[in-house]
Amino acid sequence: MQVSVFHTPELVPEGRPACAVAIDVLRATSTIATALANGAAAVHVFADLKTLDAAANHYPQDQVLRGGERDGKQVEGFDFGNSPFFCTRERVADRHIFMSTTNGTRTLQRISHAPVVLTAALINVAYVAEFIRAQAFETVWLVGSGWQGSFSLEDTACAGALVEQLGGAANDEAVAAAALFDSWQDDLVELFEKASHGQRLLKLGLLDDIVYCATANSVRSLPCQREPGVLVQGLTG
Ligand code: 3SL
């Protein structure tokens, strides 16, 4: 297995891996994993808000939840921003979640052409690794979302956790990501607090979100793309 890491969607090369994984630990892929673990029917992701609204309007409105943030703040008129704490079973079970976030949804768009697309966060990283290992994909791309085109510590740490579990580091970024995870795996909250997006969330009073997103393997979830932009739970039972 050849595992490559790309820090942002902009750095993803042309071509098609057997499996591509979108990572946006703070907070889009943590929220997606939580929503699907708590029984959401699907998470539909959109880069822009107008397209999101048009698609959401086709569904019976009692089945729909709209989630979205810009610069970490909830989009006006939406049911929630992008906090995983919103996604309790009571709120999300059997609902379709329409979601748009600053960076995470752009990453998903960039890799949506791959035959298998997953999302990963630290909270579900072991489930994602287990699936990838079982499928023995020849090429795997792990794509961080970063922040508006730049590298992020938290996405790289999660990519590193996957590289550690999968082996097969195929570029320098993969080796560096594994080293970052190795150094910080026991202090992930501290690492996330140092991260620029962690700092942004701290200013918004969202320390609890950071702690939740830094808790490895706490959520049983394997978000898989069913069709471009639509994620469903890949685990049964
Ligand atoms: O950038 C993103 O996609 C978001 O996850 C950012 S936030 O944590 O919701 O602010």
**Paired strand residues for 143:** 6, 22
Q: What is d(CA 161, CA 138) in angstroms, rounded to the nearest whole number?
A: 19
Q: Which amino acid, 75? A: V
Ligand 1 atom closest to Cα of 81? 9
Strands 73-74 and 116-120 come out as unpaired
How far away, in angstroms, is 52 Cα from ligand 1 center? Answer: 16
**Paired strand residues for 224:** 118, 232
pLDDT score at 70 = 87
Q: Whose CA is nearest to atom 10 of ligand 1?
A: 72
pLDDT of 102 higher than 90: no
Reported as a single tens digit per residue, the pLDDT across 149-158 is 899 999 999 9
How far away, in angstroms, is 119 Cα from ligand 1 center? Answer: 14
- DSSP single-letter state for residue 149: T
Mean pLDDT of all residues in 48-64:
94
pLDDT score at 24 = 97
- Detail the DSSP E strand segments found in the chain: 2-6, 19-23, 42-45, 64-70, 73-74, 96-100, 116-120, 139-144, 223-227, 230-233
Reported as a single tens digit per residue, the pLDDT across 178-205 is 999 999 999 999 999 999 999 999 999 9
How far away, in angstroms, is 145 Cα from ligand 1 center? Answer: 9
pLDDT of 207 higher than 80: yes
Reported as a single tens digit per residue, the pLDDT across 24-38 is 999 999 999 999 999
- DSSP single-letter state for residue 77: T
Reported as a single tens digit per residue, the pLDDT across 71-99 is 778 999 999 999 999 999 999 999 999 99
pLDDT of 19 higher than 90: yes
How far away, in angstroms, is 136 Cα from ligand 1 center? Answer: 31
How far away, in angstroms, is 209 Cα from ligand 1 center? Answer: 11
Mutation to probe ligand 1, out of 197, 203, 208 (largest number of atoms < 8 A from CB) = 197
**Which domains does the chain show, CATH number per domain?**
2-229 (3.90.1560.10)
Q: Do you know the residue count of the chain?
A: 237
Mean pLDDT of all residues in 6-15:
96
pLDDT of 52 higher than 90: yes
- Around ligand 1, the residues with Cβ closer than 6 Å are 24, 26-28, 69, 72, 82, 101-104, 145, 201
Q: What is d(CA 44, CA 192) in angstroms, rounded to the nearest whole number?
A: 27
